[in-house]
Amino acid sequence: MFIDLHMHEMRNSGDSFLPLEEIVEIAKKKGLDAICITDHDNMDIREFAREYSEKTGFPIFVGIEFYSLQGDIIAFGVREYPRERISAQAFINLVREQGGVCYSAHPFRNNRRGMEEHLDEVTGLSGIEVLNGSTHREACLTAAAYAKKLNLIPVGASDCHVPEKVGVCATYFPMEIRSEEDLVRAFKTGGMKPAYYEDGAYHIVDIDAPESEFPDEVWMKKSARPL
């Protein structure tokens, strides 16, 4: 399965121009098998997403992108989350206490919201976003090196806020993901790989391959092809 793990919906992410209905429509056309809405410091879309998922028969999972004091962290499997910024380690601990999982989002993007070298200071992360739809290749390569160094799951996600970015990057899951519990279990099991969308299909990236084989920034380009 291919799942976009990091997406922003306009109802609760003020910087997004995407309603859930449009996200699902584009995701289906691109061949995604599920999506995850991870709004900024907010999970208020959970009930609407559940209802819309039932209506459309398309899996929609709700997580959160939490802006910790050391940078953005994506979390799944949580019900309670802080209403103010706390340290990355405190947030990771809170997620794990609830049985959830979390990963570092765009850790080396040049917007000062990634964890960067703070990755060396925390424990309990499950993965690192090594392909991000708005992050340049060099920063993605650095993230991939950290994923290998720290033995964390490498994932990909669009981090979409506009239609043309939906699904430009995603994560390949070697197992069926039909519920939030399945998603959390997968992060505890591992085996996922980052992927990017090009020429009408998803392409899996092997971060152990030589750097020269790491894809160009196809995910940064706006597609001129109608879906």
Task: Report the DSSP pairing between strands 127-132 and 101-104.
Answer: parallel
Q: Identify residue 128 by its one-letter amino acid code.
A: I
Residues 6+ apart with CB under 8 A from 17: 10, 161, 162, 163
Q: pTM of the full predicted structure?
A: 0.95
CATH number of the domain located at residue range(s) 2-213 in this protein: 3.20.20.140
Q: Which residues of the chain have pLDDT under 50?
A: 223-227
In terms of Cα–Cα distance, which of 84, 70, 81, 144 is closest to 114? 70
pLDDT in tens, 193-217: 999 999 999 999 999 999 888 889 9
pLDDT in tens, 128-138: 999 999 999 99
pLDDT at 222: 53
Burial of 82-107, coded b for 16+ CB within 10 Å and e otherwise, reads eeeebebbebbebbbeeebbbbbbbb
